[in-house]
Structure 1
Amino acid sequence: MSEKYAIGVDVGGSHISSVLVDVSSGNIITESLSEVKVDNQASANEILDNWAAAIAQTMLFTDREKLIGIGFAMPGPFDYKNGVALLKNVAKYDSLYGMNIGDELKKRLELPGEMPFRYSNDALSFAIGECWGGEASKYKNVVAITLGTGFGSAFLSNGVPVIEGDRVPESGYVYHIPYKEGIADDYFSTRWFLGEYKRRTGITCSGVKEIADRVGNDEAAKTLFYDFGSNLANFLVPVLATFDADCLVIGGNISRAYPLFSAAFQRVLCERNINIEIMISELMESAAMVGSARLLDEEFWTKMEPLVAKI
């Protein structure tokens, strides 16, 4: 069988990354990885030119006849079925509002109009990637969360997203679920660490890593991670139990600090009788690209396509 490749693209707030993926195996072609910085407040033309530049660099690593399509992990709001940007008043990519991204990029990349361009959101793409190319593929009911600027989530059963029904929150999103004095996103994101550490110590830090680096000789920093782990576990217990999850995958920048909150996190799960496999993402930044490339696997797409219009 001839080789077939898809390009997986991850659109971030300040950059775009793309990589070539072998759709028969889920393996990435490491040398094809391309990343371009993007000013998300720039004109539509400048943004799209930068996106096209990254994808064009990745395309150099395969013959065009072997390229079966391009998948995008795209932040919302976005019309994932039709490929139309709906971002407005969200402090990024406002200039793309109403534009068909596929049409614009195909012109710049000189790709045929019938070339499939497929889209999913970033959290779902991350989870799909982990359940295709990572160790999570061994498990039936997987919950994937991303801890970073925001609190992302996805639920997969046998590798396919579950976004409706009694087992999952609406659309598979947990960030908006009420928690303590706000919503989950207020407590399980970078801004909680920075705000809470400043409230407790009066010290302003630039990121979670800076606080993590203080743990060795700063009791406040150590306690902060303990509290985070306890809070996160208490929040997730009913979510994991309702889905009958047998695996939890944790990604995002804050996951790098997992050793600092793992004891508190696992203690609460144990006390609440939640016995599941906990994995820190092995693919990390590559997961969303691998997951978006899988949208070009036709067997998988038949299961995914009905969901795309609902996310």
Structure 2
Amino acid sequence: MTITIGVDIGGSHITSAAVDITTSEIISGTYYRGPVNSKASKDLIFKDWARVINKTLNSINSNETIGIGFAMPGPFQYKIGKAMFEKNDKYESLYQVSVVNELIHYLDHKKVELRFLNDASSFGLGGKLTNEFKENSRVVAITIGTGFGAAFLKDNFPIADDDLVPQGGCLWDKNYKKGIADDYFSTRWFIARYSLLSGKEGINGVKDIVNFNNEYTHQVFQEFSNNLAEFMLPYLLDFNTDLLLIGGNITRSHQLFLPMVIDLWNKQGFKIPVRIIQKSEEANLIGASYLFNETFWETIKDELPAL
């Protein structure tokens, strides 16, 4: 198959599009996005997902079997397509539900095959495939937004079980300061830290903090820069990284932290190309659709993390 569908599952939305996997390009007229209530029942969640996916399915109007690749957050059993969301405030009604077996009942097109990849891995793969980075063999991709995602790619393949990468190929759960990385590299850290420094409550997100443009804004971004530079450097060195890709909602404010991060690394003698992927969702879709590159799939399917 040359046309597959990529789906990006977010905490509050779903995005779907058909992708030409020979060119890694989204096909015009097939891109759809819609809201999802991740705290709803299984039935309502699947209806929200199917509402968007069906629009893409109907836009390509094919009688052949259609591959649908999902960029899916964890915890998830990616090889068998079972959700393991528990105590993480989203999609908990899907706990131990086989998405691969049950979602098909909500789709208009029944001749489909579903495959799943971690959303951070999808982002890194899609970001690399669609830009000028094809010559870079060791790529680390991170997403900074509601949570902190990471992927380690070697020659386009996600690496999770290797001495050169952290356990599970993830960073969100690694110890940092008084907690874990996700506590420090996420929207909730920005809100909590700004509120503590300024005494201001009712902050909705990082965009509010940027718009305040005051001394507390600059202090928060300075601290974030110091933390990110300190935390990431050992992992980048261990992997012998030759490219760092960054995506996620917080990268819309990259001018307030990325120059400081790069400067801190340069002062320690570490230089690496860093690129912002502005269209993170599109990268997720393209990366997820690549699950139907059969060479790629046969290589990674038995290496996919259980959670």
TM-score (norm. length: structure 2): 0.94
Helix, strand or coil at the partner of 2:33 = strand
Match of 2:207 in 1: 209
Match of 2:95 in 1: 97
1:40 aligns with 2:38: yes
Q: Once the two structures are superposed, what CA deviation does each residue of 1:240-287 show, in whole Å capped at 9, x if it has no partner?
A: 110000110111111111101122111111012211110001432211
Helix, strand or coil at the partner of 1:20 = strand
Q: Once the two structures are superposed, what CA deviation does each residue of 1:138-178 show, in whole Å capped at 9, x if it has no partner?
A: 31111000111111110001111111111100111112222
Cα offset, 1:67, TM superposition: 5.4
Match of 2:23 in 1: 25
1:108 aligns with 2:106: yes
2:147 pairs with one of 138, 146, 150: 150
1:176 aligns with 2:173: yes
One-letter identity of the residue aligned with 1:260 = L
1:288 aligns with 2:284: yes
Q: Once the two structures are superposed, what CA deviation does each residue of 1:1-49 show, in whole Å capped at 9, x if it has no partner?
A: xx72110011111111111100111100142111121112222112112
Match of 1:301 in 2: 297
Helix, strand or coil at the partner of 1:89 = coil
Q: Is the Cα contact below 8 Å between 1:227 and 1:264 reproduced in 2?
A: no
1:193 aligns with 2:190: yes
- Give structure 1 stretches of 5+ with no counterpart: none
Q: Once the two structures are superposed, what CA deviation does each residue of 1:102-122 show, in whole Å capped at 9, x if it has no partner?
A: 222222225446x32100111
1:275 pairs with one of 258, 271, 278: 271
1:237 aligns with 2:236: no
Distance 1:97 1:225 in 2: 36
* 1:212/1:148 CA distance change after superposition, 3 Å: same
Distance 2:52 2:77 in 1: 22
One-letter identity of the residue aligned with 2:140 = V
Cα offset, 1:135, TM superposition: 3.2
1:262 pairs with one of 244, 258, 261: 258
Q: Is the Cα contact below 8 Å between 1:154 and 1:172 reproduced in 2?
A: yes
Distance 1:37 1:51 in 2: 9
More displaced 10-residue stretch of structure 1: 173-182 or 155-164: 173-182
Helix, strand or coil at the partner of 2:40 = coil
* 1:6/1:273 CA distance change after superposition, 3 Å: same
One-letter identity of the residue aligned with 1:301 = W
Q: Is the Cα contact below 8 Å between 2:10 and 2:73 reproduced in 1?
A: yes
One-letter identity of the residue aligned with 1:266 = I
* 1:137/1:53 CA distance change after superposition, 3 Å: same
Q: Is the Cα contact below 8 Å between 2:144 and 2:247 reproduced in 1?
A: yes
Q: Is the Cα contact below 8 Å between 1:42 and 1:95 reproduced in 2?
A: yes
TM-score (norm. length: structure 1): 0.93
RMSD: 1.7
* 1:46/1:293 CA distance change after superposition, 3 Å: same
One-letter identity of the residue aligned with 2:247 = G
Q: Is the Cα contact below 8 Å between 2:168 and 2:305 reproduced in 1?
A: no
